[in-house]
Amino acid sequence: MKLHNSKILITGASGGIGSAVAKALTQQGANLFLVGRNEQTLNSLAEELLGNHKIIIADINTIEGREHIVKQCSSNGGIDLVINLAGIIDFQFFEKQSEKFIQDILTTNLISPMLLCHKLIPLLKLKENTAIVNIGSTFGSIGHPAFTTYCASKFGLRGFTEALRRELADTSIKVFYLAPRATSTNLNSNALSSLNEAMGIKTDSAEWVANELIILLTSDKHQRYLGWPEKLFIRINALFPSLVHNALAKKVPIIRQFTEQ
Ligand SMILES: NC(=O)c1ccc[n+]([C@@H]2O[C@H](COP(=O)([O-])OP(=O)(O)OC[C@H]3O[C@@H](n4cnc5c(N)ncnc54)[C@H](OP(=O)(O)O)[C@@H]3O)[C@@H](O)[C@H]2O)c1
Residue range 136-176, pLDDT digits in tens: 999 999 999 999 999 999 999 999 999 999 999 999 999 99
End-to-end CA distance of the chain: 45
Averaged pLDDT of the chain:
97
Q: How many CB atoms lie within 10 A of CB 144?
A: 15
Q: How far is the CA of 246 from the centre of ligand 1 (A)?
A: 31
Cα 223 to Cα 175: distance, rounded to the nearest angstrom: 9
Residue 52 confidence (pLDDT):
86
Mean pLDDT, residues 186-195: 94
The string of pLDDT tens digits covering residues 213-234 is: 999 999 999 999 999 999 999 9
pLDDT tens per residue across span 16-55: 999 999 999 999 999 999 999 999 999 999 999 988 899 9
To test the ligand 1 pocket, which listed residue (43, 44, 67, 88) has its Cβ within 8 A of the most ligand atoms? 88
The whole-number pLDDT of residue 152 equals 98
High-pLDDT (> 90) share of the chain, %: 98
pLDDT value of residue 21: 98
The pLDDT score that the predictor gives to residue 261 is: 84
Domains with residue ranges and CATH for the chain? 7-259 (3.40.50.720)
Closest residue CA from atom 7 of ligand 1: 137
- The model's pTM is 0.97
The pick from 14, 84, 176 for probing ligand 1's pocket by mutation, whose C-beta has the most ligand atoms within 8 angstroms, reads 14
DSSP class of residue 81? Answer: E
Evaluate whether 115 touches 66 at the Cβ level (below 8 Å). yes
At residue 255, the pLDDT reads 97
How far does the centroid of ligand 1 lie from the alpha carbon of residue 240, in Å?
Answer: 31
Could you report the per-residue pLDDT of 65-94, keeping only the tens digit for each?
A: 999 999 999 999 999 999 999 999 999 999
Interval between CA 9 and ligand 1 midpoint (Å) = 15
What pLDDT is attached to residue 146?
98
CA 104 – CA 63 distance, rounded (Å): 15
pLDDT band at 57 (very low <50, low <70, confident <90, very high): very high
Please tell me the predicted confidence (pLDDT) of residue 126.
97
